[in-house]
Amino acid sequence: MSRHFAFHQNTACEYFPCHKGVDPAEFNCLFCYCPLYFLADCGGNPAWRGLVKDCTGCTLPHGPGGWEAIQKRLAQAFAELRAGRAPRTLGHPPDPAE
């Protein structure tokens, strides 16, 4: 089965590549707006500026394996919801002690 649905690249975008650290030949633009942004613990490496999540240093959705990582974290968040536990969302950076 092909997996063309898991990769899209827009080299005509004026911001391409928008995050440093991923080979431009492998840069995936599919999740230009990350579906995990609303999660405080998204699995990526965002910076926090007070209560604002800054994802400019994160390459999780854009590199090889990014599609799979996004799907896995979304599945975890939906499993939490089905179990009656709301995932921690923005405004609540994860506590490293937990």
- What is the reported pTM? 0.81
Q: Which sign, positive or negative, has the C-alpha torsion 19, 20, 23, 25?
A: positive
Cα-based torsion angle of the residue sequence 15, 17, 21, 24 in order, rounded to the nearest 10 degrees? -170
Any domain includes 68: yes
Give, rounded to a whole angstrom, the gap between the first and last alpha carbons of the chain.
40
Query: Is residue 45 included in any domain, yes or no?
Result: yes
Does any domain span residue 29? yes
Average pLDDT in the 6-32 region?
A: 94
Residue 87 inside a domain? The answer is no
Which of 29, 98, 22, 8 has its CA nearest to residue 58?
Answer: 22
Cα 21 from Cα 96, distance rounded (Å): 25
Per the domain annotation, does 95 fall within a domain? Answer: no
Residue 52 identity: V
The answer to the question of residue 18 being in a domain is yes
Q: What pLDDT shows up at residue 28?
A: 95
Range of the structural domain that residue 70 is part of: 4-82
The pLDDT assigned to 14 comes to 96
